[in-house]
Amino acid sequence: MRPTEALDDLARRLRDLAANTPLQDIEKNAKSLLSGAFSRLDLVTREEFDAQARVLARTRDKLEALEARVAALEAKSGTPTA
């Protein structure tokens, strides 16, 4: 028997053993408990987070451009900046 076959056999036996024990029920209950906890949290997907990060970056760029424009206009008019 090759080492990979022995490992596959061991893995299969462990899966069969776990399927016939309360371990499977514990795993299902843990997944259900975690799923419920995550659903109560205010979480977003990675795609939503990345989209909002791009929007924020564009907004910051626009704000910096506007601040520079206001500073230039104030310098031109002689109005002191705050």
Residues 33-77 have pLDDT tens digits of 888 877 778 888 899 999 999 999 999 999 999 999 999 999 998
Identify which has the larger pLDDT, 49 or 29. 49
Residues 37 and 6 both lie in one domain: yes
Contact yes or no for 24/18 (Cβ under 8 A): yes
Indicate if 37 and 57 belong to the same structural domain: no
pTM: predicted TM-score of the whole model, two decimal places: 0.49
What's the total number of domains in the chain? 2
From 62, 64, 63, 81, select the one nearest 73 (Cα to Cα).
Answer: 81
Domain, as residue range, for 9: 1-42
Judge if 23 and 60 occupy the same domain: no
